[in-house]
Amino acid sequence: MPRRRRGGRVCALEGGREEEAPPAAAAVPSALWASQLQPEAAAGQILLRGIFEIGRSSCDVVLSERALRWWPIQPERPAGDSKYDVQCKEEFIEVKDIFSVKLKRRCSAKQQGNGTLLGITLFICLKKEQNKLKDSTLDLINLSEDHCDIWFKQFKKILAGFSNRPKSLKVILNPQSHKKEATQVYSEKVEPLLRIAGIKTDVTITEYAGHALALLRDCELQEFDGVVCVGGDGSASEVAHALLLRAQKSAGKETDSLLAPVRAQLPLGLIPAGSTNILAHSLHGIPHVVTATLHIIMGHVQAVDVCTFSTTGKLLRFGFSAMFGFGGRTLALAEKYRWMSPNQRRDFAVMKALARLKPEDCEISFLPCISSHAVQERKAEGSPKSDGANPWQTIQGPFLNVSIMAIPCLCSVAPRGLAPTTRLNNGSMALIVARNTSRPEFIKHLKRYASVKNQFSFPFVETYTVGEVKVRPRSNSGYNPEEDNGQHSAAPEKSFPWNVDGDLMEARSEVQVKLHPRLINLYGGSMEEMNDSKVTCNCL
């Protein structure tokens, strides 16, 4: 019987010799072989070889250190008949794309025990278009218990060798994110994949603002390999802030005068379940839940730059991006209408802020950065890095909006990013200022973010690449939200709203924003970001 012959053809090669093209693949032309099998996948030693049914074909299957390869078993061809050359097409997957293996069984209601063995199922992470990842399966059908047991154990051994992949995760879930869909997103899309991958989870559902911060400050994290946040930008930023504060405390750092913070001890995974998902979108290149989950499962880690926000020498928080002026006022307005849906609240706040558009008189000092390529050119020319003058530059006047961003800030309303020239870890921030102009011109500038045109090609918009920024308001009164209700009473204290990663931060005086390269590891990373990760900047 063919099924029995499959069991007899398995072999485990001891000692591991260099892999050679098997006889069954001899009919494959060399050009086709080269196009199907990449050099890095072809290298390695043979671990197992046997016969499985894949699809509806009996296949010769070879497992090496780097790849699983298979091709249909063909009958002996007549001399000179070339039609089998096309049919005998080799296929392969790289073992690094496998994230789980299970024994495939058929169970019936009347049957006792584990059911009838059908073979082995491999769970695979596939790369699709536009940075998207997709989970898939490959069934290796063989009815032999001994045959499948050998292969199953070898696959488990290979998977155990990926030490970068998490085995236990602390999950923080915000049930109020977006349309209160975070719980459903996790239970239907995230948790099933984590369970298949064999990852243990401990889930905490947050109950109030600041809950994640309080939880991560005190809970034990030694048993976890990483932390996962299921929520929007505010939740993700709060968890990142909490992990970094915990790292400073563990290192004995004083957060009131934090000059050189230490890195977070655990990587953070971001599952997009909010209204804008700027952090997850910038990290993965796409706000896709399955993509984010697979990056976590596969242990893909990206070091990301982080900013500290301080005032009068005291740390306010860690963050990735901030807006002052129009961006801060819009968020302050939106926070007053939490009873609205997220999209309605955002649109209403934007319209109301535009209706009451006014500039903020302030002084902005910044420390410019130059690219590493420019530094090399200066060294080659013998030019000093600095001529001894004060490297800080200052601009002042009325500004409608000030943006300071250490990440590209991709989102649905700005598909190219609010700061398209910034990368996740190039050691610099984008400082984007919009000086005072007419309301129609400012609206044109905002609309450009959603188009393919350059949103910065306006005479009132200036951009700088910086490593540190100080924003000092020069007006005597801060923002009074009561003015938006038609009341013009003076604010009890001078306070200026900032939008930091979608969270409202209020400051009464100068705010200093400083970049700290690669301060936290995040699970994920788009292909563009991984390719550009070597591009760095240097502050003067």
Residue 279: which CATH number? 3.40.50.10330
Domain CATH for 136: 2.30.29.30
* Tally of structural domains, the chain: 3
Name the residue among 466, 479, 495 with its Cα closest to residue 404: 466
Q: Is residue 358 part of a domain?
A: yes
Distance CA(529)–CA(522), nearest Å, equals 13
Q: Is residue 198 part of a domain?
A: yes
Pairing of strands 429-435, 461-473: antiparallel
Question: CA separation (Å) from 435 to 326, 328, 388?
Answer: 11, 15, 30
Do both 468 and 339 map to the same domain?
yes
- Looking at residue 381, what is its pLDDT? 59
Q: Is residue 484 part of a domain?
A: no
Name the residue among 293, 294, 373 with its Cα closest to residue 536: 373
Q: Which residues contact 209 (CB under 8 A, 6 or more apart)?
A: none
Do both 231 and 268 map to the same domain?
yes
Q: Is residue 230 part of a domain?
A: yes
Do both 140 and 227 map to the same domain?
no
Q: Of the residues 300, 329, 351, which one is the last residue of a structural domain?
A: 300
Q: What is the pTM of this model?
A: 0.85
Do both 133 and 179 map to the same domain?
no
- Looking at residue 31, what is its pLDDT? 31
Distance CA(470)–CA(367), nearest Å, equals 9
- Looking at residue 212, what is its pLDDT? 94
Do both 271 and 362 map to the same domain?
no
Q: Which secondary structure element, helix H or strand E, spans residue 507, and what is its range?
A: strand 503-507
Q: Is residue 308 part of a domain?
A: no
Q: Is residue 460 part of a domain?
A: yes
- Looking at residue 41, what is its pLDDT? 44
Do both 414 and 345 map to the same domain?
yes
Do both 332 and 294 map to the same domain?
no
Domain CATH for 369: 2.60.200.40
Do both 363 and 505 map to the same domain?
yes
What does pLDDT average to in each consecutive run of 10 residues of the chain (540 residues)?
37 36 34 38 78 93 94 75 62 95 84 82 93 95 95 96 96 88 94 97 93 92 96 94 94 79 95 92 94 96 95 91 96 87 85 94 93 56 56 95 96 90 94 97 94 90 96 78 52 79 92 95 70 56
Q: Is residue 305 part of a domain?
A: no
Do both 271 and 349 map to the same domain?
no
Do both 152 and 207 map to the same domain?
no
Do both 262 and 113 map to the same domain?
no
Q: Is residue 482 part of a domain?
A: no
Q: Of the residues 300, 333, 367, which one is the last residue of a structural domain?
A: 300
Give the pair of three-digit tokens for residue 328: 């801060």
Q: Please provide residue 111's backbone torsions phi and psi, each rounded to the nearest 5 degrees.
A: -85, 135
Do both 199 and 101 map to the same domain?
no
Q: Of the residues 249, 269, 300, which one is the last residue of a structural domain?
A: 300
- Looking at residue 380, what is its pLDDT? 60
Domain that holds residue 445: 318-375+391-474+494-519
User: At 152, is the secondary structure helix, strand, or coil?
Assistant: helix
- Looking at residue 366, what is its pLDDT? 97
